[in-house]
Amino acid sequence: MTPHNRIIRIGYSNHPPFSYKHPNQDCITGESFEIATHILKQLGFHTIQPKETDFWALIPQLKSGVFDMIASGLLITPSRLTEVAFTHPTYQDSDGIMIHHRNPHRIHQFDDVIHHPLIKVAAVFGSFAMESIRLVPPNRRVPCLDLATALDAIVSGQADCVIGSTLALRQAAILRPYPELRLRTYRDGFSVPSAIPVEFGGIAMRKRDTTLLAAFNQALTTFIGSPSHLKLVAPFGIGISELPALHPHFESVWHNTSTPPPLQNPSSPHHP
C-alpha cells in the first residue's frame, strides 16, 4: 500500500468521538478519522473511501482486505497486536461507567457490577471493555451493537449500566442526550480491574503494510501535540490531558511485538 495507488479505504464504525457520521453534514468525522485523513493527505493519498461496519467486524475485515486501515479509536491491546499493526497512539483514556441517575442498585465500583445478582450490563460487541465484562455472568449481559444502543438499553430499563472508554461514553451522551444518565470516571473513584490503568488508542493497519506504517508514524511524531492537532481534535473533547504520553504500565503491551513503541512528542507534556 503506497501513495502511488492514490486511493485508500478506511474502515470505521459508529464509535463517537473517534468515528461517526456528522449529525449535520454528509461526512464522516471523529478523532481517529480526522487524524487518519489529515496524515494520509499529507502522505499523498488524495482519494479516501470510508467503509462503515460493525465495531466487532473491524479487525476481521481489515485482515480480509475489505479496507486498508481502521480509524475508529481502537485501543491498543496485546491480543489485537497479535492480529494487526498499530500506529503510535493518538490519545490516552481510561474506563468509565454510565448509569441511570436513580442508580437503584447503588453501583459505585466494578465489583458491585460483578457481585450484584440483579445488575445487567450493556455489552458492546468487540469493545475492550468486554475483557472486564466477561467477569459478569452471561445471563446478566445485554448484547449491544454500539454505545448508542447501550445508552438506549439503560434508559429503557433493559440494562443498568455500560462500561467503556470515558471519551466514548462522554461523546455518546452528547450525541444522544439523556437527562436520566450519569457518567462516572476514575475522578469519581470508579475503576475496573486492569493491568493497564491508562489505555491508549491508535490506528490499525495490516502487518504487511510496513512502509505505510513507518511513513504514518513519522508524520504522527511531529503532528501529535502540535497546535494543528489540538485544534483538529478539540471538537471531540480531546485536549492536552488526553495526549498519549507513554505510561509505565503500557510498556509491557509493546514488548516483543513488531510495532515500535510510541515516540514522545517534545511539544507534548508528559502525563503519567
* CATH number, residue 32: 3.40.190.10
Judge whether residue 139 has pLDDT over 60.
Answer: yes
pLDDT at 13: 93
C-alpha cell at 232: 483538529
Q: Is residue 268 part of a domain?
A: no
The domain in which residue 77 lies consists of: 3-92+198-254
Residue 2 CA: distances (Å) to CA of 6, 68, 139, 143, 242: 8, 11, 47, 39, 31
DSSP H or E stretch at residue 35: helix 31-42
Same domain, yes or no, for 64 and 100? no
- When divided into structural domains, the chain yields a total of 2
Same domain, yes or no, for 84 and 202? yes
Judge whether residue 110 has pLDDT over 50.
Answer: yes
Same domain, yes or no, for 83 and 208? yes
Average pLDDT over residues 126-154: 85
Query: Looking at 159, 188, 217, which one is the last position of a domain?
Result: 188
Residue 194 CA: distances (Å) to CA of 87, 160, 250: 23, 22, 11
Q: Which of 38-42, 254-258, 263-267 has the lowest mean pLDDT?
A: 263-267
DSSP H or E stretch at residue 114: helix 110-115
Q: Find where cell 493497564 sits.
A: 196
Beta strand pairing call for 91-93 and 181-184:
unpaired
Sort residue 106 into left (φ over 0), alpha (ψ -120 to 50) or beta.
left
Q: Is residue 133 part of a domain?
A: yes
pLDDT at 268: 35
Q: Is residue 261 part of a domain?
A: no
* Residue 219's pLDDT band (cuts 50, 70, 90): very high
Judge whether residue 6 has pLDDT over 90.
Answer: no
pLDDT at 248: 43
What three-state secondary structure class fits 162?
A: strand
CA distance 244 to 137: 34
Q: What angle do CA 37, 42, 47 make, to 5 degrees?
A: 55
Judge whether residue 43 has pLDDT over 80.
Answer: yes
C-alpha cell at 217: 508514524
* Residue 185's pLDDT band (cuts 50, 70, 90): confident
Same domain, yes or no, for 56 and 39? yes
pTM of the model as a whole:
0.73
Q: Is residue 265 part of a domain?
A: no
Q: How far is CA 106 from the centre of its chain?
A: 27
Contact at 8 Å (CB) between 127 and 57? no
pLDDT at 270: 29
Q: What angle do CA 78, 84, 85 make, to 5 degrees?
A: 90
DSSP H or E stretch at residue 58: helix 58-64
Q: Specify burial of residue 156 (Cβ count, 10 A radius: 0-12, 13-18, 19+).
A: exposed
Query: In this structure, what DSSP letter does residue 231 have?
Result: H
What is the distance between the terminal CA atoms of the chain, rounded to a whole angstrom?
35
Q: Is residue 123 part of a domain?
A: yes
Same domain, yes or no, for 50 and 122? no
Query: For residue 135, how many other CB atoms are within 10 A of its CB?
Result: 14
Judge whether residue 41 has pLDDT over 70.
Answer: yes
Same domain, yes or no, for 46 and 77? yes
CA distance 1 to 22: 28
Contact at 8 Å (CB) between 26 and 66? no
To 10 degrees, the CA torsion angle through 205, 211, 215, 218? 90
Average pLDDT over residues 94-120: 91
Same domain, yes or no, for 122 and 43? no
